[in-house]
A = this chain, B = another copy of it.
């Protein structure tokens, strides 16, 4: 399976001061998953096999739920091609 790009913005409905710490936990989980990833101001983009990245999305919901979020709103963007898509081809020249 070719690699694709998937970005995740997760908004747990918790007290505002708890939002960043909870998002940090999600990023820590993404880091521990071993996929290539890049943290941005509105979303974290991952590169890998689609099925595995969707599994991470699922786990992120559970993680927020387990940490006190009664409700979680997420936005997931997928960039998919049968030839594969990489983070580098898109931002390499901008992030020199």
Contact of A81 among B38, B43, B71 (CB under 8 A): B71
The distance in angstroms between the C-alpha atoms of A66 and B78, with both chains bound, is 17
Q: Is the CB of B72 within 8 A of A5?
A: no
- A33 CB–B CB distance under 8 Å: no
Q: Is the CB of A41 within 8 A of B7?
A: yes
The bracket for how many chain A residues form the interface is: 35 or more
List residues of A (30-54) whose CB comes within 8 Å of B's CBs: 38-43, 45, 50-51, 54
Q: 15 A–B contact pairs at CB < 8 A?
A: A11-B13, A19-B71, A40-B41, A41-B90, A41-B91, A42-B77, A42-B79, A50-B61, A51-B58, A72-B80, A73-B77, A73-B79, A73-B80, A74-B80, A75-B75
